[in-house]
Every structure is written in structure tokens, then in C-alpha cells.
Amino acid sequence: MIVPPAVTPLQKLEASGQPITMNNLGQTVINNNAPFNTSGSGSDFIGKVLAIFGKLVIGFFGLMAGIGIIVTLWFFICAVAGIISSLMWGSTYWFDVFDFGGSGSPIVFGIFMALTMLACIIPAIAIFWGACTIFFKAKGASRSLIITSIIIEVLLIIGALVTFTYYASTLHTCALLSPVIVSFSTLQLC
């Protein structure tokens, strides 16, 4: 829906994955029975409608990713501020944004939240960048940047899981359960 149709012989070679040589280019011109400009045909109209629809979908997801980046950055700033305020003054005021009510270490909780927010922001940036690439003809990400981002994303997820596991192990198990489960387990014990 997003990729425009191949119209010229060069684009047709690129679309089929064939090497662009003079022989292949000449053969494509010879084998092409239809004229290159097919405006007015029904399939061209459907292709344009699907292309516009695809751009609208990508634009919507790009906009949502941009909003997600802003929200995630806010939570990341709150997590970092919570870590700093816990270390400096022993205050957990900044963790109220996350509805922090556990009895575990607030510093470990802050590190967990910071890692989680960073793990959420990388895919949001990728989606936003992809939308900008399509709409504003911006340069796409290089292969090395994509590989580096994937490695960083995996490390952030592993770090968040490790810190959450450590944080959860310091809490009382009842604090993690919902009130319905706690009341049910209390009835079972009685």
C-alpha cells in the first residue's frame, strides 16, 4: 500500500531484485508491451487509493509514536528524578507518578522504571522515524544503527527484568496481589 508502483524499466528491475545492467535494462524495455504511463486505468486508481490509505495509517502510527515518545520521556524523567531524590534525600515523592506503594527499595524501583521507559522509547522512535521517512523523504536508518538499537533494546529489556525480579523478591507477596486474590487467600487460610 505504501510503495509506489514500478513504472520505469529501472524501477521494474529494482522491484524484481535483478541486477541493473545494460542488458537487463534493454531486455526490460523490449519485453514491456504496455506503455509506461498507465494513468486512467482502474488498477492505477486502486493503487493510488491504497497508497493514500497506507500513508494515512503510517501517519496515524507515527503521530501516536510521537505522543508516546513525549509521555515516555516524562515518565523517564520522573524515574530519574525519583532515583536522585531517593539517593539524596530519601524521598519517594517522584515515584507517586507510578503509584509506587511497595515496601521494596525505591532506588531499585526507579532503575526498573527508567529501564522500562527506555525500552519503550526505542520502538516509538523507530516508528516515528519511519513515518517521517515516508512523509518528509527523510533519510532512513542505517543497518548499523538498526542492529545497535536492537542490541540496546534487548539489553534494556533484560536489565528491566532483572531489576524487577530483584525488586519483587524484596516485596511481600501479598503486596503484589490484587485485593480479590488477597481476600480469597485469606479465606483459604482460615
Considering its fold, how many domains does the chain have in total? Answer: 1
pLDDT at 175: 47
pLDDT at 155: 95
- Asked if residue 143 is part of any domain, the answer here is yes
Q: Which helix (H) or strand (E) holds 74?
A: helix 42-89
Longest dimension (CA), the chain: 87
Q: How far apart are CA 177 and CA 133, in angstroms?
A: 44
165: CB partners within 8 A, 6+ apart: none
Domain range enclosing 93: 64-189
pLDDT at 3: 63
44: CB partners within 8 A, 6+ apart: 5, 38
pLDDT at 104: 64
Residue 135 and residue 62 in contact, taking contact as beta carbons nearer than 8 Å: yes
- Asked if residue 175 is part of any domain, the answer here is yes
- Asked if residue 125 is part of any domain, the answer here is yes
- Asked if residue 52 is part of any domain, the answer here is no
pLDDT at 118: 87
- Asked if residue 6 is part of any domain, the answer here is no
- Asked if residue 70 is part of any domain, the answer here is yes
pLDDT in tens, the chain (190 residues): 466 677 777 777 777 777 777 777 677 666 665 554 444 455 677 878 888 888 888 888 888 888 888 888 888 887 787 778 877 777 766 666 565 555 667 778 788 888 888 888 888 888 888 888 877 777 878 889 989 999 999 999 999 899 888 877 776 544 444 454 444 444 444 4
- Asked if residue 185 is part of any domain, the answer here is yes
* Burial bucket for residue 114 (CB in 10 Å: 0-12, 13-18, 19+): buried
pLDDT at 131: 80
Give me the amino acid identity at 71.
Answer: V
- Asked if residue 29 is part of any domain, the answer here is no
Nearest 5°: the CA angle 93, 115, 124 is 110
